[in-house]
Amino acid sequence: MIYFVATPIGNLEDITLRSLRVLKESDIIYCEDTRNTKRLLDHYDIEGKLYSYHKFNEQKRVDEIINLSYDNDISIVSDAGMPGISDPGNILVKAMIENNIPYTVLPGATAFATALVLSGFDNSEFTFLGFLPSKSSDRKKILENMKKISNTLIFYESPHRIIKTLEDISLTMPDRKVAVIREISKIYEDVKIFKSSEYKDEEIVEKGEIVVLLDRFEEEIIISDDFIKDKLEELKKEGMLNKMAVKQVSKELEISKNRVYEISLKI
């Protein structure tokens, strides 16, 4: 069996009992950086045979992992969080599906989901973008397309690009509320929430693991007096009394009855 095991995104205690058991029972553990994974295993007194599995050798490791899985229990881990989410793993899962190889995914820590709850932003609908392009022109192009999407946007960013990215956001979506969340579950966990156009007023630390979120955006619809007047006239033509028409328009447009009544007097 091949197991995809989520590892802590900060505090080493952020790992499930099942994950610890599976890592302990695995014959082989494939990981992004053997040094990082060894620290985790040493903390829990787990001995494991470690092999590297990262974005530079991911493609060539696939056949090897599949062949070894016939006689071994194998765990796939990333440096932090869920393997396959902006980390190696997705290519391997596709290959196993195509080859009918048994595998399973163990639930666990994921940075973007934790950040979404920390931000307090709307979570009824959200779009996860992974990492944005490093080139500013490509990044701006994606942000231009994304500003048409009203639901909450989430992406990861590297410390040395965070200020440039915030600048690009302020140019493309100046009115969106932004959350910059750093070092989730670590000692220096930091949550900053501000209007995108005001990013220069914030002390953004250019270090650590960073998740950026843009809150849900709802286009403001301006309801003019003429629009209200047309609605009232329409209802009156249908034979509705002024009082009832005022009440219905006020409720339908979610505006003050007094405002609707004042406009009705001009008809």
Distance between CA atoms of 43 and 87, rounded to whole angstroms? 23
- Please give the model's pTM, rounded to 2 decimal places: 0.77
- Cα 117 to Cα 111, 144, 254, distances in angstroms: 10, 25, 30
> Which residues have CB under 8 Å from 128's CB, separation 6+?
112, 154, 155
Q: pLDDT exceeding 90 applies to what percent of the chain?
A: 81
Give the closest residue to 83 by CA, choosing from 102, 65, 106, 103: 106
Residue among 7, 31, 5 nearest 104 (CA): 5
CB atoms within 10 A of CB 267: 10
Instruction: Tell me which H or E stretch contains 105.
Output: strand 103-106
pLDDT of residue 223: 81
**Which of 229, 216, 218, 219 lies closest to 255, judged by CA?**
229
pLDDT digits (tens, 9 = 90+) for 208-233: 999 999 999 876 566 888 889 999 99
Q: What is the DSSP letter of 7?
A: B
Residues with pLDDT less than 50, the chain: none
Q: What is the pLDDT of residue 28?
A: 97
Structural tokens at position 76: 């796939």
Count of CB atoms within 10 A of residue 136's CB? 14
pLDDT for position 94: 94
Beta carbons of 189 and 182 less than 8 angstroms apart: yes
What is the token pair recorded at 139? 């990044």
Residue 60: phi and psi, rounded to 5, are: -75, -20
pLDDT in the model for residue 48: 87
The pLDDT value recorded for residue 254 is 83
pLDDT at position 220 is 58
The kind and range of the H/E element at 31 are strand 28-31
| Closest listed residue to residue 167, CA positions, set 202, 197, 194 | 197
Question: Exposed, middle or buried by CB within 10 Å (0-12, 13-18, 19+), for 168?
Answer: buried
pLDDT tens-digit readout, 151-170: 999 999 999 999 999 999 99
